[in-house]
Chain A
Amino acid sequence: MSALPAVQPSRPLLSVVDLHVYLGQSHVLQGVSFDVADGGVTALLGRNGVGKTTTIRAILGLVGRQGRIVYGGDEIQSLATHKIARREIGYVPEDRDVFAGLTVDENLKLAERDAEPRYDLVYELFPELRERGKQRTGTLSGGQQQMLAIARALLNDNRLLLVDEPTKGLAPRLVTEVARVLERVAELATILLVEQNLGVVRKLARDAVVLDQGRVVHAGSAPAFLGQPELVRRLLSVSVA
């Protein structure tokens, strides 16, 4: 995609410093540190079960964690989740977590935070959501729920979007659509993207951070990383097409 160098001279939007997370007995994150540059898409990669979702949830404070999280120059690790989210951070969870018992309209309404939520943008990207406004979200298809989950995060003028595996379980046509939407969104906000689909990563990501065994084992330019099939295979156990 872009030929910008991986390291930006300006201050990173988000810095995670020495993050530790324990889930039950297991030490899932063992000192994770990385930066997310302001603007563009940073991909968070790694094998299954390595702690990518945990990292995202740790940033938001949805799991107990130790370490420092610096966002926009401020330390946010001791803030409650809702306060963190109010600092213009949007979240698209791995399982979408849309509210099945609420209608599409209600799901969007709940997410409203700014004085002027961007419904035009949302309906422009996802016209179906306007049509299905009164439909119970539980009756939507997986793809439609994914669109709603993304729309919800776009409603407010967020600076940072935490997007966790948005193409998981979607048919190829929908994967392309989601990628197209995210490309558009990347013009408006910084995205930290967890994604297993390397095609999507190649299309969108400028930087890549790779996790393994609870630590960051590689950080740098995404195209550069994907251009080394051996490295990719070793760290992700996946062959690059």
Chain B
Amino acid sequence: MIRRFWNVALPVALVVALAFVPQISVDIPKLFNGPIDSPGTLQLLATCLVFAGLALTYDLLFGYTGLLSFGHALYFAVGVYLPAIAMTKWGWGFWESLAITAAFGLALPFVLGAVSLRVTGIAFAMVTLAFAQVGAVLAIKNPHGWTGGEEGFGTDFEKLPAALVGVFNTKHLYWLALGYAAAVFLIVRWAVESSPGRVWQAIRENELRVEVLGLRPHSFKLMAFVLSSFLATAGGAVYLLTSLTGPSPSVTSPNITLTLLIMVVLGGAGTRWGAVIGGVLYKYFENRLGAIGDSPTVHDLPGILRTPLSEPLFLLGTLFILLVFFLPGGVARLSLRGRRAGLRRFEQALASQTTPVGGGIEKAT
């Protein structure tokens, strides 16, 4: 009973507390560059929140259902590009653009998912990567001048509601991001604890057993895939609005999907708070580690130490390696037993038909 209370009370309290952030003018020196209600800091927090939500969508796919996708960035990119294209290149209004994005965000994963899910394991990962690469190539090829090629393009700000434009309204963007993260958290929580959600977790553990029980794993997997991708598309739209710049091909990169994977593993795959923690921590460090490079202590170091320390991705990659060695279950699973349990997700996702005979697979009896 107490547990149920905390399960509900804690997230609610957190959201409420976070909602008040733009009203508080407080300086947290080492952590942020300015007071936490300054546009710069709110911008950073908004990005952290958007990626917390995105990490959750990836966790739904990978951590709960055991589907290792290398192409999740595609759906995120659709959410970033499509509203911008509709408003700027086709001259549509704001709400119509969102509507078409929502429709496409449901239809595309349904079609691509139905195709990709015909295979499993590594093959599935590769097919998802392949589809995402098609998207990446299209973004750069700039068909009909819609996607703006390598540079991307700027969104037509006239089309956006006034409340979302302008530096003074950064707090609105922050609340939008907070709303998104909270909504994704709620939806994922609800979905995972529903009956289809239990089937997803069963599929992750042992797909064969699910089939034997008379259920068709394919439809359940497709359900998880569509939901996860749709929420990612929504995240893309929120990102477009909060990032102030227009879309660019960087959002289609496989690095984005890998980043989400890292966030999920860092935080703890398949746990309540894991993805959120991972998303926030990663984005925060990615932003702030650049500042370490500019700090006086590092500046005075000899070149051979200064160069790597000034490169955020190097620090993140190294941190990640250390994490894998010492904290494989992710931050959310600091207990000893939880550690090994967390990584079984990945093992199950990889170990399907394309695994060599006998290698590492335990047989009973």
Chain B 336-365 interface 0/1 with A at a Cβ cutoff of 8 Å (1 = within) = 000000000000000000000010001111
Find B364's partner among A49, A95, A97 (CB 8 Å cutoff).
A49
Most chain A CB neighbours (cut-off 10 Å) among B205, B358, B364, B365: B365
List of A residues within 8 angstroms of B205 by Cβ: 24
Query: Which residues of B from 126 to 160 have beta carbons under 8 Å from A?
Result: none
A17 at the interface (CB under 8 A from B): no
> By the criterion CB–CB under 8 Å, are B365 and A63 in contact?
no
> By the criterion CB–CB under 8 Å, are B358 and A23 in contact?
no
> By the criterion CB–CB under 8 Å, are B358 and A51 in contact?
no
Of all chain A residues, which has the CB nearest B363? A53
> By the criterion CB–CB under 8 Å, are B365 and A49 in contact?
yes
A76 at the interface (CB under 8 A from B): no
Query: Which residues of A from 166 to 200 have beta carbons under 8 Å from B?
Result: none
A48 at the interface (CB under 8 A from B): yes
Find B365's partner among A24, A48, A97 (CB 8 Å cutoff).
A48
Could you tell me the distance between the alpha carbons of A97 and B249 in the complex, rounded to whole angstroms?
A: 49
A77 at the interface (CB under 8 A from B): no
What is the minimal beta-carbon distance from A94 to any residue of chain B, in angstroms?
Answer: 8
| Chain A contact residues: helix, strand, loop or mixed | loop
List of B residues within 8 angstroms of A53 by Cβ: 363-365
Chain B 186-219 interface 0/1 with A at a Cβ cutoff of 8 Å (1 = within) = 0000000000000000000100000000000000
List of B residues within 8 angstroms of A49 by Cβ: 364-365
What is the minimal beta-carbon distance from A92 to any residue of chain B, in angstroms?
Answer: 14
Chain A 36-59 interface 0/1 with B at a Cβ cutoff of 8 Å (1 = within) = 000000000000111111100100
What is the minimal beta-carbon distance from B197 to any residue of chain A, in angstroms?
Answer: 19
List of A residues within 8 angstroms of B358 by Cβ: 95, 97
Chain A 85-106 interface 0/1 with B at a Cβ cutoff of 8 Å (1 = within) = 0000000001101000000000
A210 at the interface (CB under 8 A from B): no
List of A residues within 8 angstroms of B365 by Cβ: 48-54
List of B residues within 8 angstroms of A63 by Cβ: 362
Of all chain B residues, which has the CB nearest A211? B365
A28 at the interface (CB under 8 A from B): yes
What is the minimal beta-carbon distance from B245 to any residue of chain A, in angstroms?
Answer: 48
Of all chain A residues, which has the CB nearest B205? A24
Could you tell me the distance between the alpha carbons of A51 and B362 in the complex, rounded to whole angstroms?
A: 12
Could you tell me the distance between the alpha carbons of A54 and B364 in the complex, rounded to whole angstroms?
A: 6
What is the minimal beta-carbon distance from B210 to any residue of chain A, in angstroms?
Answer: 15
What is the minimal beta-carbon distance from B44 to any residue of chain A, in angstroms?
Answer: 43
What is the minimal beta-carbon distance from B342 to any residue of chain A, in angstroms?
Answer: 15
Could you tell me the distance between the alpha carbons of A63 and B363 in the complex, rounded to whole angstroms?
A: 9
List of B residues within 8 angstroms of A28 by Cβ: 364
What is the minimal beta-carbon distance from B270 to any residue of chain A, in angstroms?
Answer: 16
Query: Which residues of B from 205 to 255 have beta carbons under 8 Å from A?
Result: 205
Could you tell me the distance between the alpha carbons of A29 and B365 in the complex, rounded to whole angstroms?
A: 10
List of B residues within 8 angstroms of A97 by Cβ: 358
Could you tell me the distance between the alpha carbons of A144 and B364 in the complex, rounded to whole angstroms?
A: 25
What is the minimal beta-carbon distance from B111 to any residue of chain A, in angstroms?
Answer: 35
List of A residues within 8 angstroms of B364 by Cβ: 23, 26, 28, 49, 51, 53-54
Could you tell me the distance between the alpha carbons of A95 and B358 in the complex, rounded to whole angstroms?
A: 10
Of all chain A residues, which has the CB nearest B360? A62
List of B residues within 8 angstroms of A51 by Cβ: 364-365
List of B residues within 8 angstroms of A24 by Cβ: 205, 362
What is the minimal beta-carbon distance from A19 to any residue of chain B, in angstroms?
Answer: 15
List of A residues within 8 angstroms of B363 by Cβ: 53-54, 57, 94
Could you tell me the distance between the alpha carbons of A50 and B363 in the complex, rounded to whole angstroms?
A: 12
List of B residues within 8 angstroms of A57 by Cβ: 363
Could you tell me the distance between the alpha carbons of A104 and B364 in the complex, rounded to whole angstroms?
A: 28
Could you tell me the distance between the alpha carbons of A95 and B364 in the complex, rounded to whole angstroms?
A: 13
Chain B 25-67 interface 0/1 with A at a Cβ cutoff of 8 Å (1 = within) = 0000000000000000000000000000000000000000000
Residues of A participating in the B interface, judged by any CB pair closer than 8 Å: 23-24, 26, 28, 48-54, 57, 63, 94-95, 97
- 13 A-B pairs (CB sep. < 8 Å): A24-B205, A24-B362, A26-B364, A48-B365, A51-B365, A52-B365, A53-B364, A53-B365, A54-B363, A54-B365, A57-B363, A63-B362, A94-B363
Residues of B participating in the A interface, judged by any CB pair closer than 8 Å: 205, 358, 362-365
Cβ-closest 6 pairs across A and B: A49-B365, A53-B365, A23-B362, A63-B362, A23-B364, A97-B358
Q: Beyond A23-B362, A48-B365, A57-B363, list 6 extra A-B contacts (CB 8 Å).
A: A50-B365, A52-B365, A53-B364, A53-B365, A54-B363, A54-B364
